[in-house]
Amino acid sequence: MGRWFDPRTGISDVGAFPSNMIGRNLFRGPGMWNMDLGLYKSFSIGEKYSLQFRAEGYNAFNHPNLQNPQNSAAGMTWDASSANYVTTGYSGRRFVQLALKLLF
């Protein structure tokens, strides 16, 4: 085998990494999910009109969606080896709205 052969994985498609470097794709960002809910109830007003009550919730369970760390000066991904801890931002909050809708 050539000098770029990795004995642990048995492949040679990438170059040699330094011994103190973590493996490829081991640092991943947090996942993102949210749950939107809607409840609707229609009430008839005569034959021609109806009134609909709507309750809608966005990010109903108020799950925090953390962002990947960013280097604000260069706009590039933050180097995790440059500090003792990883800082991140938070996006997402619960929104609830109530509405009445007249259908004709």
Q: What are the structural domain ranges in the chain? A: 37-103
**Tens digit of pLDDT at every position of the chain (104 positions):** 445 566 677 666 555 666 666 666 666 666 778 899 999 999 999 999 999 999 999 988 888 777 766 555 555 555 666 666 666 667 678 899 999 999 99
Q: How far apart are CA 4 and CA 9, in angstroms?
A: 12
In the chain the first and final C-alpha atoms are separated, in Å, by 77
Predicted TM-score (pTM) of the model is: 0.51
> What stretches of the chain show up as alpha helix (H) in DSSP?
none
Q: How far apart are CA 73 and CA 88, in angstroms?
A: 15
* Cβ atoms of residues 52 and 41 within 8 Å: yes
